[in-house]
Amino acid sequence: MASIELTKELLKHFNISEYKQANPGGQKTVFIVNIDNKKYALKIINFADDRFEREVKICKQFDDNKGIPNIIGIEPFEKNTIIIEEYIEGNDLSELIKDYKGNEQKISQLIYATATILIPVWNAKYVHRDLKPQNIRIRNNGEPVVLDFGIARALDDESITATGVQPYTWPFASPEQYSGQKNLISYRTDFFCLGIIAYYLYTNSLPFGNNRGEIYKAFQDDKLIVNSGNEYIDTFCNNVFKKNPSERPRKIELFLKLIEL
């Protein structure tokens, strides 16, 4: 991981006493920082425009949603945008996948709880569009928290994608994201991604291939059918793994019913 140092100016400006980089960095670099003896997640986005103000406004609507971290502040700094966010104790789901292997009960509960967090978001016509194990944080009591809502949205802006950087992460992206059909992105994109996560947790392997090329090829097929070795997981996955979003569950209630064990 390319380690990035925070400048003295930045540390001083935000009153940071300690920090640790949390991801490899790129368009967005995440640090866990200490301010006044309290932990926060600090996200540096390498551009500054009004996009995030809009996104933050959207996120504010969901401030009382326990499953989405609160945003404490946002401001432009040194040509970047800095977002300071409530720190969520616990682990990334990506660190815990072994605990879920072969455990459909646990997976069902997790996906159900994650979808429940997103209900008001979907109902308000927003889409996360970058759901993946690194973006789901598991509190010590087992409850999930969905990270990066809003950021995924803003990073998916035309002007960025046009530069060739894809904001979504290839292993957990949907067919419409692979084919760049933005007009087909909706809550049903998140349904698909939650299907990939369920499959991945159950088998600890990816459903459609292990690299971009393989997945791209798999998505050329009209019928996407998987076999995880578990009937429940397969029923859920094969109902959401429809290449055409129009064929995926139409109502959130239907989607939730499918996950319920």
Partner 1 sequence: MKVTHVLGHNSNWNVDSYLGQNIGDYFLIIAFSHGINYDSKPLLKKVLDVSMIDLQFYGKNTDIQTGKLTEFSFHTSNINTKENTNVYFEKCAQQAIEFQIEKNFKNIIIPLFYENDEVNDIIYAIKTLNKYISKLDNKNHKFFMTLPLANHIIIDKDKIEEILFVCTEMDICFDGYFIACENKPETRKKLTTDIKIFKNLTRVFKTLKQQEFETIYAYANWDAIIYLAQTDIDYITIGTYENLRNFDIKRFTEDISGGGSKGYYFSEKLLNMVRADDVTMLNDTGNINIIKNEKNIFSDIILKDGYPWNIHKPDVNKNYLFTISKILQRVASISDLEFRKEYVLDLIDKAIKNYNYLEENRVYLNNESSNYHLNIWKTYLANS
| Lookup: tokens for 82 | 């800095």
Binding part of the chain for partner 1, among 19-27, 143-151, 208-216, 240-248 by CB under 8 A, reads: 240-248
135 interface partner picked from partner 1, ligand ATP, none, CB below 5 to 8 A per type: ligand ATP
Residue 118: what residue type? L
126 binds, among partner 1, ligand ATP, none (CB under 5 to 8 A by kind): none
Listed ranges 10-18, 88-96, 201-209, 243-251: which one lies at the site for partner 1 (CB under 8 A): 243-251
Nearer to partner 1 among residue 18 and residue 253 (C-beta): 253
Residues 33 and 40 sit within 8 Å (Cβ to Cβ): yes
For the CB of residue 150, give the shortest distance to partner 1 in the complex, in Å: 21
Asked about 130 being catalytic, the answer comes back as: yes
| Nearest one of 82, 18, 9 to 48, comparing CA atoms | 82
- The helix, strand and coil proportions of the chain, stated in percent and rounded to the nearest 5, come to 45, 15, 40
Q: Measured from the CB atom, is 195 or 245 closer to partner 1?
A: 245
Residues 224 and 17: their CA atoms lie apart, in Å, by 50
As a whole number of angstroms, the distance between CA 115 and CA 6 comes to 35
Q: Which does 41 bind (CB under 5 to 8 A by kind): ligand ATP, partner 1, none?
A: ligand ATP
Partner touching 210 among partner 1, ligand ATP, none, CB below 5 to 8 Å by kind = none
Q: Which of 36, 49, 92, 130 is catalytic?
A: 130
Nearer to partner 1, 158 or 222 (CB): 222
DSSP string covering 191-241: HHHHHHHHHHHHHSS-SS-SSHHHHHHHTTSS------S-HHHHHHHHHH-
**Segment 172 to 201, residues that bind partner 1, using CB under 8 A:** 181, 183-184, 186-187
Q: Does 126 bind partner 1 (CB under 8 A)?
A: no
Contact 177, 97 (CB under 8 A): no
Size of the site for partner 1 (CB under 8 A): 13
Closest residue by Cα to residue 194 from 122, 129, 124, 139 = 129
- Count Cβ neighbours within 10 Å for each residue of 88-104 and write b for 16 or more, e otherwise: bebebbeebbeebeeeb
Nearest CB to ligand ATP, comparing residues 25 and 249: 25
Residue 73, strand partner residues: 84
Interacting residues toward ligand ATP by CB under 6 A: 22-23, 28, 30, 41, 69, 85-88, 92, 130, 134-135, 137, 147-148, 169
Least distance to partner 1, CB of residue 175, Å: 11
Contact criterion met (CB below 8 Å) for 90 and 139: yes
Shortest Å, Cβ 55 to ligand ATP: 13
- Catalytic residue numbers? 130
Residues that bind partner 1 in the complex, under the rule CB under 8 A: 122, 181, 183-184, 186-187, 244-247, 250-252
